[in-house]
């Protein structure tokens, strides 16, 4: 059984979708949700779905090995689902090509520090883009610069607001993120 730990900072809709997708899966299981915010709604979702969950602070993540040890002892893969902190090098080194993130735009456009959620969608609308979408990628030492695994686009019309773009992108996230995670894990398991 390949074990996933999800790192999330916010409401956790993607995390919930992933947990439900892998519920009763024959070879992949979400074993824990970790958050850098003790009041993040994702922790409530995890509790409701009977998934172990825990919050941590910056010191446990960056300066000590507290979070690293939890990950090394319990995870084969780390999935970022709306997690806003940069991943420390020691975690990237411990999980080469086993940390997967989703970004709400077609990278390399609209990536980097501070480019998440509504900030991305505001820029897409402001720049009159004709499409946006999702990018699922491996995590490296730079924000949103890891190797791209999968992209899917959606058309943007001139009347779309940032909220409209967000709704279109969320639909893609919910449809594709769990499937691509599954595909990556099962393909890696064969090798």
What domains does the chain contain, in order, with CATH numbers? 2-102+136-151+176-190 (3.40.50.170)
Name the token pair of 25: 């899966």
Cα 106 from Cα 49, distance rounded (Å): 31
Confidence of residue 161 (pLDDT cuts 50, 70, 90): very high
Per residue in 45-59, pLDDT tens? 999 999 999 999 999
Q: Is the peptide bond before 81 cis (omega within 30 degrees of 0)?
A: no
Q: Give, for 90, the enclosing helix (H) or strand (E).
A: helix 89-94
Q: At residue 118, does pLDDT exceed 80? A: yes
| Residues 173/104, Cβ–Cβ less than 8 Å | yes
| Residues 4/18, Cβ–Cβ less than 8 Å | yes
Residue 121 appears among annotated catalytic residues: no
**What is the layout of strands, in order, in the sheet containing 52-55?**
52-55, 28-35, 2-8, 77-80, 99-103, 131-138, 148-155
Q: Which of 103, 119, 121, 137 is catalytic?
A: 103
Per residue in 67-105, pLDDT tens? 999 999 999 999 999 999 999 999 999 999 999 999 999
pTM of the model: 0.96
Positive or negative, the Cα torsion across 39, 44, 46, 47? positive
């Amino acid at each position: 059984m390949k074990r996933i730990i999800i790192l999330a900072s916010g409401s956790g809709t993607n995390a919930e979708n992933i947990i439900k997708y892998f519920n009763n899966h024959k070879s992949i299981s979400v074993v824990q949700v970790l958050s850098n915010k003790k009041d993040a709604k994702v922790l409530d979702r995890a509790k409701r779905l009977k998934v172990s969950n825990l919050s941590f602070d910056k010191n446990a993540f960056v300066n000590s090995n507290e979070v690293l040890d939890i990950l090394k002892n319990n995870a084969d893969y780390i999935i970022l689902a709306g997690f806003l902190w940069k991943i420390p090098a020691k975690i990237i080194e411990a999980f080469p090509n086993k940390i997967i993130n989703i970004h709400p735009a077609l990278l390399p456009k609209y990536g980097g520090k501070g480019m998440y959620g509504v900030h991305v969608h505001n820029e897409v609308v402001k720049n009159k883009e004709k499409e946006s979408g999702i990018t699922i990628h491996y995590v490296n030492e730079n924000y949103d610069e890891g190797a791209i695994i999968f992209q899917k686009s959606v058309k943007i019309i001139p009347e779309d607001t940032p909220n409209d773009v967000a709704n279109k992108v969320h639909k893609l996230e919910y449809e594709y993120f769990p499937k691509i995670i599954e595909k990556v894990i099962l393909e890696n398991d064969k090798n």
